[in-house]
Structure formats: structure tokens, C-alpha cells
């Protein structure tokens, strides 16, 4: 699953969760996740009973307080310094505490798919908002080892955020973070174009590859890592690979690995599904382009009819 597909699904789930069943029992829980002299962050979890499945659905947002006053949408927009967001209403969906005076935020517009990932800090008593990621697809904060957070920019490149000291490290490519040790990260990626799964050791500070292990997609099934916890991702790495962090870093597939394999028949089925999906995508693009071309021609024809004869 690529970044745009998974991001669109996540955004849809957020919207669905927010609108789940007006009827039914609703519970609200408030929990302070950060409280300092200037900045306070409160998690507000609304639980609604879905009467169709007799199960509670949970949706958490965050409220921000500066100097004891709730930070209004207009005040947040002022800190954001985005001219197009002056009159926006915001929902803060993710908040990760960086230190006693700063928090990493994921926010989106209530009325459009615009989103931002920012660092809100109040060091020195004055609030300041630093924009890290902006887009229209997804700005959520993803799983990462303790002390780190993972973001993805609009093209889908990984951005690693270190909490203490606060640092921003862009990493080219849509990688899942498996493990971090010092300045080295173990990363995973599905390379669809070359039909391979890649596990890489990379230098974080310079975004350089140190070692990698390539697995052919014709032989190995894609692991379920998208929504896995940092602990589960680390366990998957060391269950299946030998990692050396010596003078020459290396990563090798363990002989006793637990990776799931697939048969040639299953691989052929996957390829057939991909071809069908690609054909459907191409047809949709062609139909969209044809529709826009027809609209353009109709508009040009209408303008020609309205033009005075010379």
C-alpha cells in the first residue's frame, strides 16, 4: 500500500469516526498529556456506542491551552502564518510531547483536506509554531522507536523527528522505521517497480545507505507492518535478520527466519490483480481527461457563439 492510498484511508476513517451514529450512548474522557507554566495539552476522547455492532468507537482529539486560555482557531491560524488558513477551523488529531515546553502536532482543516504537522513550543513564555509538513493527503504522526516520531511529506518521503535534542532528518523514500540505534536506523520498504522487499540500515544524519537485504516479492509475502507498534516492528526485524553494527554494518536474513513465503501460483494471482488494477486506473484517468477535454471544447464553443461578429 502506497502513502497516498494509506493516507486517504486514514483520513476517511477519521471523518467516519467523527460522524459515527448520532444515536447511541456517548462518553467523553479528558486527560492532560502536558502541563507546564505556559503550555497545556489535553486529550479529549469521545466514545460512541455503535448500535450496529454493540461496540464503542473511539475518537481522540487534542485541545491546546496557552497561559491558561484555550488556544482559539484564529490564534492557531495566526501562529501558523498561513494566509489561506486565516478563517479555518482546526482539528488536532495527534500530539506527541517533545519536552516540558513543546509538542508535535498533527492538525487538519474541518472543512477541507488541508493538513499540517507542526511543533508548538512556548520556550521563553511566548508561543511559537514551526511548520514541518503541510499537504492535502495526510500529516499524521506515525509509529517510531522511543524518543522519535515519523512523518511523511506530500511526495511520500520519510521524515524522522528526534525529540531530545529536537532534530529533523529527511530520509528519501517511503520507509517504515523498524529500529533506531544511535545515528543508525533499520528501515523497510516495498519496492513495487523492481518487485522486491528491502530492509536497509541507513545513517540518519546523512541519509546514506550502510547495508541492505533484498527479498524477492515472488518468494516472500509482504509483512503486516503498516499499523504495527514500534515494539512489534523491532521484533519482526530481529526475528528474521542478523544485524551487525560493527566497523562495517551488515544485515543478513536469518536461516531460522519466520518470514511467510508464497507459491508461484499465488504470485501469479497477485500480478493478475495488479494488472487489473492498473488497467482500471488507466481507464479512469483516460475517462477523466476525456471529460475535461469535452468540457473545455464546450466552453470554447460557448465563448465563440457569444463573441460579436466582426
Q: Looking at the structure, tell me whether residues 204 and 225 fall in a common domain.
A: yes
What range defines the domain where residue 182 resides?
A: 146-262
Residue 248 lies in a domain: yes
pLDDT in tens, 72-83: 999 999 999 888
Per-residue cell: 2 = 502506497
pLDDT of 309: 55
Same domain (yes/no): 201, 285: no
Given this model, what pLDDT does residue 48 score? Answer: 84
- Taking only the tens place, the pLDDT of each residue in 198-210 is 999 999 999 999 9
Long-range contacts of residues 35-38, Cβ cutoff 8 Å, at least 24 apart = 36/100, 36/101, 36/122, 37/125, 38/66, 38/67, 38/101, 38/122, 38/125, 38/127
Model pTM score: 0.79
Q: Read off the pLDDT of residues 14-36 as tens digits, 9 standing for 90 and up.
A: 544 444 444 457 789 999 999 98
Same-domain check for residues 230 and 277: no
Domain identity same for 257 and 158: yes
Closest CA to 29 of 45, 49, 47, 48: 45
pLDDT digit string, tens, across residues 226-235: 999 999 999 9
Which residues, at least 6 apart from 66, have a Cβ–Cβ distance to it below 8 Å? Answer: 38, 39, 40, 75, 122, 127
Same domain, 205 and 292: no
Q: Is residue 101 part of a domain?
A: no
Cell triple for residue 255? Answer: 536461516
- Are 116 and 136 within 8 A, CB to CB? no
Which residue, of 247, 262, 277, is where some domain finishes? 262
- Is residue 79 one of the residues assigned to a domain? no
Q: Please give the tally of structural domains in the chain.
A: 2
User: 237 with 243: CB under 8 angstroms?
Assistant: yes
Amino acid at each position: 500500500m502506497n502513502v497516498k492510498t494509506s493516507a486517504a484511508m486514514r483520513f476517511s476513517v477519521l471523518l467516519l469516526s467523527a460522524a459515527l451514529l448520532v444515536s447511541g450512548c456517548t462518553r467523553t474522557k479528558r486527560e492532560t498529556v502536558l502541563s507546564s507554566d505556559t503550555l497545556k495539552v489535553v486529550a479529549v476522547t469521545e466514545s460512541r456506542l455503535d448500535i450496529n455492532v454493540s461496540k464503542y468507537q473511539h475518537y481522540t482529539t487534542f485541545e491546546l491551552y496557552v497561559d491558561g486560555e484555550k488556544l482559539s482557531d484564529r490564534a492557531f491560524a495566526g501562529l501558523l502564518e498561513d494566509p489561506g488558513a486565516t478563517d479555518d477551523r482546526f482539528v488536532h488529531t495527534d500530539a506527541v510531547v517533545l519536552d516540558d515546553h513543546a509538542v508535535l502536532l498533527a492538525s487538519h482543516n474541518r472543512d477541507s483536506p488541508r493538513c499540517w504537522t507542526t511543533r508548538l513550543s512556548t520556550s521563553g513564555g511566548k508561543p511559537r509554531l514551526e511548520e514541518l509538513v503541510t499537504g492535502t493527503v495526510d500529516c499524521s504522526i506515525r509509529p517510531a522507536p522511543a524518543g522519535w516520531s515519523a512523518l511523511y511529506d506530500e511526495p511520500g518521503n520519510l521524515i524522522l523527528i528526534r525529540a531530545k535534542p529536537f532534530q529533523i532528518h529527511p530520509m528519501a523514500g517511503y520507509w517504515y522505521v523498524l529500529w533506531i540505534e544511535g545515528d543508525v536506523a533499520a528501515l523497510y520498504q516495498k519496492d513495487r517497480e523492481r518487485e522486491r522487499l528491502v530492509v536497509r540500515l541507513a545513517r540518519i544524519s546523512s541519509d546514506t545507505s550502510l547495508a541492505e537485504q533484498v527479498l524477492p516479492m515472488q518468494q516472500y509475502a509482504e509483512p503486516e507492518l503498516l499499523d504495527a507498534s514500534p515494539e512489534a516492528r523491532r521484533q519482526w526485524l530481529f526475528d528474521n535478520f542478523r544485524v551487525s553494527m560493527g566497523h562495517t554494518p551488515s544485515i543478513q536474513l536469518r536461516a531460522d527466519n519466520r518470514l511467510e513465503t508464497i507459491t508461484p501460483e499465488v504470485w501469479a494471482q497477485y500480478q493478475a490483480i495488479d494488472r487489473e488494477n492498473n488497467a482500471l486506473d488507466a481507464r479512469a484517468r483516460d475517462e477523466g481527461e476525456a471529460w475535461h477535454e469535452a468540457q473545455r471544447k464546450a466552453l470554447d464553443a460557448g465563448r465563440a457563439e457569444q463573441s460579436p461578429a466582426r
